[in-house]
Each structure stands twice: as structure tokens, then as C-alpha cells.
Amino acid sequence: MGAVLRAAWLIAAKDVAIEWRTKTAFASGLVFAVLVLAVLFFSRDPTVVSSHDIAPGALWVTFTFAAMLGLNRAFLLEGELRGLDGILLSPAPRSAIFWGKFGGNLAFVGLIEAISILLFVPFYDVPIWLRFGELLLVIAMTTVAFVAVGTLLSAMVVRTRYAELMLPLLLLPFLVPPLVGGVQLTAGLLDGRPLSALSGWLKLIGAFDVAFVTLAALLFQVVLDE
Amino acid sequence: MPPSDPVIIATALSRRFAYRPVLVDVSLEVRRGEALLLVGPNGAGKTTLLRVLAGLLRPTAGHVERRAPIGMVGHEPMLYPALTARENLRFFARLHGVDTARVAELLEQVDLAHRAHDRIGTFSRGMLQRMAIARALVHEPALLLFDEPLSGLDAAASRALVALLAELRDRGTAMILVSHQLEMLRGVGTHIVRMAAGRLGTVDPLQGRDPVALFTALMREAS
Amino acid sequence: MRDRALRLAGVGRGITVLALLGLAGVYVRALKYTPLELSQGAAQKIFYVHVPAAWAALLSISVCGLLSVLYLWLKDRRIDLAAAASAEVGVAFGVVMLTTGPLWGKPIWGTWWTWDARLTSTLFLFLLFVGYIVLRGVLTDPGVRGRFSAVIGIMGLVLVPFIHLTVYLFRTLHPAPIVLKPSAPSLPSAMLATLLSSVGVFTLFYVGFVMQRYALGLLRELREEELAGAAR
């Protein structure tokens, strides 16, 4: 257990260091976030659609698509000079590779989300500060859901020729439960509804997290084998 | 001389890729202090065999018993281009549970200490190869697998590597070397074996004989 | 093994023919002998194809998922081929379901599509299994292909209840307009009988199709093996 955590931490830290140095995925994620937020804001008729109504959807579209730009990167960097083989040759437990990649991806997506929220506030006049703690919980739970599945799927598609196309194709159906839940919860919270009234969605995302993080961790070993 | 137990025992290994058999019933044992030269034509399965022995590839059938830590230098360096030489080695040292003080030592050994803080993405082919060797040695493995270790190295670096290999062998490290440059590895090899079409021939202890001459004889025999 | 595969294909074909006859019977029964539904009229008859297709699609996905688990455990490539066959057949039934849905919806609801519980669930699961098939298409090594497909198959199976739950929760928050749902909870016995016989027929189709598709897959693999062996 300790060995897994230690190795996972080393791998995640390495990934973060590499991304920090190159900043490629981060930059494209950020540009994308700004683009989506701006387009959704300006493309509506302000007299018909208030920014308040469109806000939850805009936020989550931004989060997921920017995240997808980053998910493939985690395994692409392993392919350049086959660093992953170096890890496989070490005594690091193989499950640590999943947890390390998962952790690194969460850090990456988390940072993009944090910056997106900061950009979000001036555009969409929404009082997120009032329910900030609860919103953070919702965002965290939903992010865990699609990053877990995304990490597993990106490990699979990275070796195919059409990785950028295959990842969204395969990931999309898995996004439906957490994303719908995330948007509903965000909208509900911003509308001032208490979390207890939205417990159904919260439980759905919670169950999804448990099921799919476990499943992804277990199935990852299968994907690693050549 | 350290006791000669096998550091690796491979039994009846088979491996197929997309229906094609690439390894057919390969059995092998390597002992401490032995340097096995693995020769054969392209496509014989030598790289596949090394990868299966290292544990990077699962055999379709058969079994590998690894009795000691393994280090490998393959076709790819197995490193991260965005990180510096020092960062790369520190990462792998930590992963292997080795004190990071060893990193400086290794960089000296492969003559890359002066580039320790440069990203290896900027390195030449020869430098990457030397980095790969450093990475393979980081945990002082008992068995080293080399797939074309001299590729990309200039004359001086080649001589340095050959000297290093001989030294490691004398200290008891076992190794399997796949190389087209047998003349350079003359002084290193203790055994030779030929591989063709996925099958391994009989291992021949060199006992002082010239591997190059033997190899030429083997090739002639095969045709 | 070739002979067994060919025989299996033959049996599958036979079952499919039987199912076709059954389908003809269902059509006759549905159109002539089942009472007309009060408010929807003749358009409602699509129900007898739409719902069984949905059932068959769900069956396909479940079987694929279960076989995927079995494959990861036993590593027998025939299990992988069976799972893939089930997935493909599921996609076919999904197409039927997704086309009959709008065909039914247009005259009744006045719209080609609605984000109704079952249609939405099927759409996303359909997309997943299309992805499954695409993935199989780009992976050439049978070992990798089998393992990766199994991963998707298992995840897809676990996803099914979550998608259903999501759409259910969504609907209770946004109550559906006053329209008739694709399957009413209580049906007069005549309609129920027609529906059940149609479900039976579609199940038969499932079995027949999967048998043939599996046999075909097996024959193809045997052929590839032969070719690879000969090339040496």
C-alpha cells in the first residue's frame, strides 16, 4: 500500500514537472476554456437567455473539453522515448502507474478548472461565492468521475492511430451521468436550493465515483499488458 | 569468482504477434559472470526475447523465473525528453529505491556530468544511449539485457562501454547482448547463441575462442 | 474447428429463418388481430417492434459485458469473438430502436426526437458500442483487441444502470409533457400477448444473429491464422 502510494506520487510528480516545463496541453486547455466561455456568453440573446441560465452548462462544457485536451497528454509523454518501459522495469507496483496518472490528471484538470472559474466570474454574473464550499464538492466529485474513466481510456487509445478521435468517442457515454449530475447540482446550488434537495444527484455521482474509480484501477492492469 | 547460480531461467517461451509466431519454444539460463552474445538475422525474435525476459512483454506460453534485479538497454532510451539528465536519473533512482547520490556517480561513469542540467530532448543519439545505460545501471542489477548497446556510439564511447561491460562481468554481473558489432564485443562475451525464426540454438561457451570466427561459421552453417 | 463453426452458422441461419417467420406472424397479429390503440391509432403499432428491439439491444449489451468478464478470466479467444458478436448485434438492434422511436414519435409527439428515458439511454449506450466496434477495427493484434474490448464491454455494462438512473432523475425533475410513454404500465391482455410474442421473436433473432456472427468471426480468425502460418 505504501509502496503504491510512494511510486504513484513519484509518477504524478514527474508528470506535473514535465507538463509544467512544456505547458503545451495546459496552454491549449486554457485557450479552449476562454473560447468556450466567451462564445457561449456572446452567442445568446441577452434579452431572452440570462447569463445565469446558461452558466452551469457553460462551466461544465469548458471543464470537460479542456480536460479532454489534457487526458491524452499523460500517456503521450510516455511514448516519446518509451519512459513507461523504464517504469515497468522498476519494482514500482503496476497499480501505482494508474494512481500516478490519475493523480497527475486530476492536478492538471483541477488547475484548468480553477482558472476557468476565475474567468467565469467576470463573464457570467453569478454569485458563486455564496455556495463556494458546496460547489467545490460538486466540482471535485464530478471531476474525479470523468478523470478516472478518461485516464483508463486514454491509456488504451494512445497506441492507436486516431487517439484524439477515439478518446472523446469512447468517453462521451461515460460523461453522461456525472456531467448531467454536475450541471444539475451546479444550477441548483446557484439557484439557492439546499444541497439536501439535490441529494439524488449527489448520491448518483458518489456511486459513480466509487464504481468507476474502482473499475478503472482494476482494469488498468489489463490495459498495461502488451 | 562469485557462485554461478542462474540469475534468470526461461522455460519454453512462445510468443505470437497477430497470429505470427515470433518466439517458438525458447529455453535459456544465464549465470552470474556470464556474458551471452545473442546473434541472428533481423526478424529472428531477439528483441522480442529480450523484452519477454525483462518482463515488458508477456509470453503466450512458457515461464520466466527471475532470480535477481534486471536492467535493460533497449532500442528506445526509456527516458523523458522534457526532463534534464539529472532529473531523469533521480526519478528512476527513487523509483528503484536507490539513494539519489548515485546519480552523480552514474553521470560521471557515462561521461555526461557536464550536461547534467540539460534537457535530454536536446541530446544526440549517442548521448541518449549513454543516458539509457546510466538508467539501466541505476540499481546495480545482477542481469543486464542489451539490445544493440553500441548503436549510436562513436569509437571512444564504444571502447569505454566495452571496458565497462567487461568490468561488470568480472564483478559477477550477468548479461545478454544482442549486437551486430561482434568484433567490438570480442573481449566481453563468454558464450554465444544463435537465434533464427523464433528458435534458439544451443548455447556455446566461447572458452577463449573468437566469437567473430564462430559467428561466421554459424552463419555459413545455417545457409 | 472450421466445421463446427460452419455448422453453427447453419444452425444460426435456421434460427433466423424461424425468427423471420415468427416476425411475419407478429406483424399479422399486430396489424390485424390486435386492437387499435385509442388515442394513437395505427402509429402505435410500431410499439411492437420498438420495445422488443430495445429489449434485444439491452440483452446484447448485458451478454457482451458478462462475456467480457469471462474473457478476462479465461482468456479464450472464442469468448472474445462471442462478446464482439453480441456487441455488433446490439448495435444493429440499437439502430432499429433509434429509427422506430422517431418514426413513432413524429405522428404522436409531433417531433422526431425527444430526450425520453429509454431513447436517451439507448442512444448513449449505442454510441459506446459503436466505439467498441471502431476500437476493434483499429487494433490488429488479437490479444490486445480482446483485452481492450473486454474492458469497454465491462465498463459499458456497469454504465447501463447509471445512465438509466440519470435519465430517470432528470425526468422527475422536469416532468415529461402530457404524452403517452413508449410503454404503458398496464396493457390490455391482447396487446400484452402481441408484445410478448414479439419479444420472443426478437430474442430468437438475437440468438440466430449472434450465432452466425460468431461463426463468421471464428472462421475469419482461423483464416488469418492459416495465412500467417503459411507466410512463414
**For chain C, how many residues are written?**
232
CB contact under 8 A, C225 and B19: yes
pLDDT confidence of residue C156: 95
Chain C residue numbers with beta carbons less than 8 Å from the beta carbon of A184 are 169-170, 173
CB contact under 8 A, A86 and B78: yes
Q: Chain C residue closest to B43 (CA)?
A: C232
What SS3 state is found at C37? strand
Q: Please name the member of B57, B76, B120 whose beta carbon is closest to the beta carbon of A226.
A: B57
Kindly give the residue spans of alpha helices, DSSP state H, lying in C75-141: 77-109, 117-138
Nearest Cα to Cα of residue A70 among A120, A112, A127, A98:
A112
Cα A135 to Cα A60: distance, rounded to the nearest angstrom: 12
Determine the average pLDDT of the residues in C79-89: 96
Determine the average pLDDT of the residues in A59-68: 87
pLDDT confidence of residue B85: 96
Nearest Cα to Cα of residue A122 among A33, A26, A37:
A37
Determine the average pLDDT of the residues in B86-106: 95
Q: Which of residues 60-79 of C touch B (CB under 8 A)?
A: none
CB contact under 8 A, B80 and A81: yes
Determine the average pLDDT of the residues in B83-94: 96
Domain span at A178: 2-224
Interface of B to A at Cβ within 8 Å reads 54-58, 69-72, 74, 76-83, 87, 91-92, 94-97, 119-120, 128, 135, 139
Residue C118 has pLDDT above 70, yes or no: no
Cα B65 to Cα B36: distance, rounded to the nearest angstrom: 18
- A5-48 pLDDT, tens digit each: 999 999 999 999 999 998 888 888 888 888 888 888 888 877 88
- The band of B221, judged by pLDDT with boundaries at 50, 70 and 90, is low
- A153-185 pLDDT, tens digit each: 999 998 888 888 899 999 999 999 999 999 999
Number of Cβ within a 10 Å radius of residue C108:
16
**Which of B87-91, B96-100, B102-106, C222-226 shows the lowest mean pLDDT across its residues?**
C222-226
Q: What is the DSSP string of A152-186?
A: HHHHHHTTSTTHHHHHHHHHHHHHHHHHHHHHHHH
What SS3 state is found at C215? helix
Greater model confidence, A217 or C26: A217
What SS3 state is found at B171? coil
pLDDT confidence of residue B132: 96
Cα A29 to Cα A14: distance, rounded to the nearest angstrom: 20
Residue A195 has pLDDT above 60, yes or no: yes
Cell matching residue A133:
464550499
- B40-56 pLDDT, tens digit each: 988 889 999 999 999 99
C230 touches chain B (CB under 8 A): no
Which DSSP state fits B198? Answer: T
| Residue A161: exposure state from Cβ atoms within 10 A (0-12, 13-18, ≥19) | exposed
C-alpha angle C109/C160/C132, rounded to 5°? 100
Nearest Cα to Cα of residue C212 among C4, C12, C1, C18:
C12
Chain A residue numbers with beta carbons less than 8 Å from the beta carbon of B83 are 14, 17-18, 21
- Return the top range by mean pLDDT from B148-157, C45-54, C56-65, C112-121: C56-65
Greater model confidence, C232 or B70: B70
B18 touches chain C (CB under 8 A): yes
Beta carbons within 8 Å of A99's beta carbon, 6+ residues apart:
A4, A5, A8, A12, A217
Cα A120 to Cα A112: distance, rounded to the nearest angstrom: 12
Residue C179 has pLDDT above 70, yes or no: no
CATH number of B6-68+143-222: 3.40.50.300
pLDDT confidence of residue C180: 40
- Judge whether A202 and A195 are in contact, CB under 8 Å: yes
The whole-chain average pLDDT of chain C stands at: 84
Total domains, chain A: 1
In this prediction the pTM is: 0.89
